[in-house]
């Protein structure tokens, strides 16, 4: 059994908005199931540290970070069409971003084989200079930058199986050959990007891979699309660490999208990623909670993902 860190913080629940799909209930329902199922005994639960401003600026513009830190509205304010902020959101976002940095540290030092960051707000839509799609800071992009800047890694791979295209992450590394990005998502769909023709530019040409899926695609068909493409790409890229944007909104019960994944599909997709990590980087994986908006389906699917991470 692999040593898996489960990194989460109660203050990630302070960022919330009743009636919004991305609310604190997502983490509390997940936490309940992880305890009641006994899965908590197989992982090591840790609290993350908050990222510093300098660390957040590894992936975001100074003025944008400052503006998020300064915003302490009474009640709720909308930053864009979908993304809200409240008095505690900056705190939650610093912890969500810090969790990824801590996870990368622990896994690259060999203290854990794998880590799952059960944090929010999610991150993969956030751009360098603005919020988007429920995301304030791009947690996974920050972790990839931190792995290169502070942990001595030269090649980091990101794989994103959230139902939405990870546009913010793609944008961060579009011209960068040191971070390989693979996203599988419903398409055409929010946020609009993620067509198969988007493959990176300049030095990064060929280091972005998009796998668009038609509405109605099930988990087995999706895995059959992802596996050969990702496997071949990793054989030539030879990652030193694999980061996962783990969104669970491709589930058939999810209210926001139209794919047909079942709980167990998340186990199979995770196993596929683990086997590739075993081949290239001693199994090292750091995974991040992104979407997933049917609370029960989300909690069950994350448990399948964790079981997959625990296996060899």
* Among 301, 288, 211, residue whose Cα is nearest residue 249: 301
What tokens were used for 62? 């100074």
Among 48-56, 62-70, 272-280, 291-299, which window interacts with Zn ion (CB under 5 A)?
Answer: 291-299
Least distance (Å) between residue 220 CB and Zn ion: 20
216 Ramachandran zone, left/alpha/beta (phi>0; psi -120 to 50):
left
Least distance (Å) between residue 132 CB and Zn ion: 12
Least distance (Å) between residue 113 CB and Zn ion: 27
125 is catalytic: yes
Q: State which of residues 100, 239, 291, 308 lies at the interface with Zn ion (CB under 5 A).
A: 291
Residues 162-181 within binding reach of Zn ion (CB under 5 A): 162, 164
The contacts of residue 109 (CB under 8 Å, 6+ apart) are none
Our finding on whether 194 is near Zn ion (CB under 5 A) is no
Residue 234 or 259: which CB sits closer to Zn ion? 259
Among 103-111, 225-233, 261-269, 285-293, which window interacts with Zn ion (CB under 5 A)?
Answer: 285-293
Residues 232-261 within binding reach of Zn ion (CB under 5 A): 247, 249
* Among 265, 42, 89, 36, residue whose Cα is nearest residue 161: 265
The contacts of residue 160 (CB under 8 Å, 6+ apart) are 124, 140, 166, 169, 181, 182, 183, 184, 185, 244, 245, 247, 290
* Among 277, 180, 255, 268, residue whose Cα is nearest residue 224: 268
The contacts of residue 99 (CB under 8 Å, 6+ apart) are 7, 8, 9, 48, 117, 119, 139, 288
Residue 251 or 280: which CB sits closer to Zn ion? 251
**Adjacent-strand bridge partners of 286:** 115, 243
Least distance (Å) between residue 162 CB and Zn ion: 4
Q: Which of 15, 125, 180, 305 is catalytic?
A: 125
Least distance (Å) between residue 259 CB and Zn ion: 11
Separation of alpha carbons 33 and 38, rounded Å = 8
Residue 105 or 162: which CB sits closer to Zn ion? 162
Least distance (Å) between residue 257 CB and Zn ion: 7
What tokens were used for 304? 């399948």
Among 60-68, 94-102, 155-163, 215-223, which window interacts with Zn ion (CB under 5 A)?
Answer: 155-163
Number of residues that bind Zn ion (CB under 5 A): 5
Nearest-CB residue to Zn ion? 291
Longest dimension (CA), the chain: 51
Binding residues (CB under 5 A) for Zn ion: these are 162, 164, 247, 249, 291
Q: Which residues are catalytic?
A: 125
């Amino acid at each position: 059994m692999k040593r898996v860190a489960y990194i989460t913080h109660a203050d990630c629940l302070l960022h919330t908005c009743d009636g919004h799909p991305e609310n604190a209930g997502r983490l509390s329902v997940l936490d309940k199931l992880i305890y009641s199922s006994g899965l908590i005994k197989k992982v090591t639960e840790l609290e993350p540290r908050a990222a510093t401003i300098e660390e957040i600026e590894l992936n975001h513009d100074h003025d944008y970070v400052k503006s998020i830190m300064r915003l302490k509205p009474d009640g709720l304010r909308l930053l864009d069409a979908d993304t809200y902020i409240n008095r505690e959101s900056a705190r939650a976002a610093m912890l969500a971003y810090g969790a990824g940095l801590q996870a990368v540290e622990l896994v690259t030092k060999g203290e854990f084989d794998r880590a799952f960051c059960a944090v929010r707000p999610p991150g993969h839509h956030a751009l360098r200079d603005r919020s988007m799609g429920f995301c304030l800071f791009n947690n996974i992009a920050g972790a990839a930058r931190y792995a290169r800047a502070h942990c001595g890694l030269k090649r980091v791979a990101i794989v994103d199986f959230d139902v939405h295209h990870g546009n913010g992450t793609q944008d961060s590394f579009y011209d960068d050959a040191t971070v390989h990005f693979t996203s599988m998502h419903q398409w055409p769909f929010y946020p609009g990007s993620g067509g198969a023709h988007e493959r990176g530019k300049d030095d990064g040409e060929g280091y972005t891979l998009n796998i668009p899926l038609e509405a109605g695609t099930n988990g087995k068909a999706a895995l059959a699309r992802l596996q050969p493409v990702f496997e071949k790409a990793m054989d030539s890229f030879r990652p030193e660490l694999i980061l996962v944007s783990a969104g669970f909104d491709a589930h058939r019960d999810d209210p926001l999208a139209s794919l047909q994944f079942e709980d167990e599909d998340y186990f199979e997709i995770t196993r596929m990623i683990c086997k590739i990590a075993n081949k290239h980087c001693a199994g090292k994986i750091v995974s991040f909670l992104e979407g997933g908006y049917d609370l029960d389906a989300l909690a069950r699917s994350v448990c399948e993902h964790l079981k997959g991470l625990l296996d060899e």
